[in-house]
Chains A and B, each alone.
Chain A
């Protein structure tokens, strides 16, 4: 059965800290891995990764995929209170529909 596992499930840090969120997967016919940030409303798109070893970066956020070891990490440097959210990892697998399999999410709280 396809599955996506995120760790840790929750994390509390202080402003300025660097955090690393993990996502491992077992998905048939892997196509892509996506990271989303969800605050009070619907998830907002952060990154989509399809190739191993190529870092994607946006401001203080970066992410990389390892297709051999079947995992991805999302790094946030110099965290701010506005980074507090649930971070979702999703994997697009078999078939052409683009259906995503979601992990449980990591709840990040950044304290002032």
Chain B
């Protein structure tokens, strides 16, 4: 299967700081990437759809000014959690979509805000 990487895999930050998470598709070009968050024992929640070269489309209830998404190239999308607070602590997962519509997930980033 295709390979999608995320960096970092785990990050701890202090309240009020910003954190950037990178998502890379390593062996294919992804015109579309997706960002999810997942709380323990809950299903994935789509936050936004990221298209290369254009603004991200956010799901209802997701603050676009808090979760900044940049899809600078066909293999890289970044999610920046700005002014993080403890309630932003979660598991953030990206996925990348092949032209064939198969979607592959990155390994996820566990964010802990203290």
Q: Which of A18-26, A59-67, A77-85, A91-99 contacts B (4 or more CB under 8 A)?
A: A91-99
Interface mask (A71-112 → B, CB under 8 Å = 1, otherwise 0): 000000000000000001010100001111011110000000
Say which residue of A31, A42, A88, A105 sits within 8 Å of B101 (CB atoms): A31
Interface mask (A23-58 → B, CB under 8 Å = 1, otherwise 0): 000000001101010000111110010100000000
Count of chain A to chain B residue pairs whose CB atoms are closer than 8 Å in the complex: 52
We find that the number of chain B residues with CB closer than 8 angstroms to chain A is 21
Contact call B57/A44, Cβ cutoff below 8 A: no
Distance from A35 Cβ to chain B, minimum over Cβ atoms (Å): 11
Q: In chain B between 18 and 52, which residues have their CB closer than 8 angstroms to a CB of chain A?
A: 32, 34, 43-44, 46, 49, 51
Contact call B105/A45, Cβ cutoff below 8 A: yes
A18 to B8 CA separation, bound complex (whole angstroms): 38
Contact call B102/A42, Cβ cutoff below 8 A: no
Contact call B101/A97, Cβ cutoff below 8 A: no
Using A97-B57, A98-B97 as known contacts, say yes or no to A42 and B103 having CB atoms under 8 A apart: no
Interface mask (B70-114 → A, CB under 8 Å = 1, otherwise 0): 000000000000000000000001000100111111111000000
6 A–B contacts, CB within 8 A, in A order:
A42-B108, A43-B44, A45-B105, A90-B103, A100-B46, A105-B43
- Shortest 4 CB-CB contacts between residues of A and residues of B: A42-B108, A42-B105, A98-B97, A42-B93
